[in-house]
Amino acid sequence: MKILIIDDEKDIVAFLKRGLKAKAYVVDTAYDGEEGSYLALSGHYDLIVLDNNLPKMEGVQVLKNIRHAGITTPILALTVNTTLKQKGEMFQEGADDYLTKPFLFDEFIWRAEALLRRPKIIRDKVLKMGKLHLDTRNQVALRKGRKIYLTGKEYALLELFFHRRDEILSRSQIMDQVWENNADPFSNTIEAHVMSLRKKINLPEEIDYIHTFAGRGYKFSLSRL
């Protein structure tokens, strides 16, 4: 899953990014309202973490821009000594929850994951493809009882494949969902990660669930057809 953090306090951003990446989330960051608004409107995110006090454009205006564009992504607002009126304004403009600074990472992740559990379509905690299972709560992949070690990027890639099973995903779609916005789109990192993931989840005698379509992308499916 991909999260956007919009906050001008670089220490807090680094703190949140470190904790989220340890849990296999993909994280983009912006340090002012204008950049944050641009990323929120042009990217695809599962959660947006938005500070209320931002340079160039206030958080509430960023929030308005996001909601006026019809984007329904959950938004967790961060506040410092905010009045009840200001908090009310954030909720009225479409914030889903708020957290007052300073805060512990545990409280942040509880609130963030609660919002991530509110998609329009409730996703299963354990995803299945044939004999391959992905436990999203514990971030564990199993095939025929064999536990598969995955790096953070490999896990994020496999989770994307599960949620978009039977679809051909282009490089740009995968890059947008699994890599940060500053990743080099011309590198072979996607091909390398797909190759590594394929080797880990498909032993020689097992069905290959990842199908390559030259010039088009990859399809995660029981059958190539």
pLDDT given for residue 43 in this prediction: 84
The Cα–Cα gap between 61 and 66 comes to 9
3-class DSSP state of 59? helix
The list of the chain residues with pLDDT below 50 reads 120-122
- Chain segment 6-44, per-residue pLDDT in tens: 999 999 999 999 999 888 888 999 999 999 999 999 888
> Which of these CATH numbers, 1.10.620.20, 3.40.50.1220, 3.90.1580.10, 3.40.50.2300, describes 2-116?
3.40.50.2300
pTM assigned to the model: 0.64
How large is the greatest C-alpha to C-alpha distance in the chain, in angstroms? 63
pLDDT given for residue 82 in this prediction: 65
b/e burial code for range 112-140 (CB count within 10 A of at least 16 → b): beebbeeeeeeeeeebebeebbbebeeee
pLDDT given for residue 122 in this prediction: 44
User: So where are the chain's domains?
Assistant: 2-116, 126-220
Class of domain 126-220: mainly alpha
pLDDT given for residue 121 in this prediction: 43
